[in-house]
Amino acid sequence: MAPDVKAAVPLEPYVVRVVFADGEVRDVDIEPLLGGEVFAPLRDRREFERVTVDEQLGTIAWPNGADLDPDVLYGLEQPAGSPSAHITAPVEAAPGDSSPRASG
């Protein structure tokens, strides 16, 4: 069983950065899901950015009822069907990296 999701931050273009209770972080690209009935409204950027943490389910969710299995987000289970979200662990910037993400 995956740890609960503690934070969700919408990124560009259809990626949500998910932070778990154990400190693990995943970037979830939901673009492959946007053709489905529940996820289609999230093509609207304003709707996509309304992502929240559903504390009862311990995962990310949107007001229209779309949500994702926390075990899949964490990488413990494979998605039930296709298409599925692309899930990756973010790459930390290397020391001395001059990219905008690393500067601050």
Q: Read off the pLDDT of residues 1-42 as tens digits, 9 standing for 90 and up.
A: 999 999 999 998 899 999 999 999 999 999 988 888 999 999
Q: Read off the pLDDT of residues 38-86 as tens digits, 9 standing for 90 and up.
A: 999 999 999 999 999 999 999 999 999 999 999 989 888 776 766 777 8
- Domain extents in the chain: 5-88
Task: Output the pLDDT for position 82.
Answer: 66
DSSP string covering 56-99, please?
Answer: TTTEEE-TTS-B--HHHHHTSS--SSSS--EEEPPPPPPTT--S
Question: Given phi > 0 = left and psi -120 to 50 = alpha, else beta, which region is 75?
Answer: left
Q: What is the pTM of this model?
A: 0.78
Q: What is the CATH architecture assignment of 5-88?
A: 2-Layer Sandwich (3.30)
70 or 90: whose pLDDT is higher?
A: 70
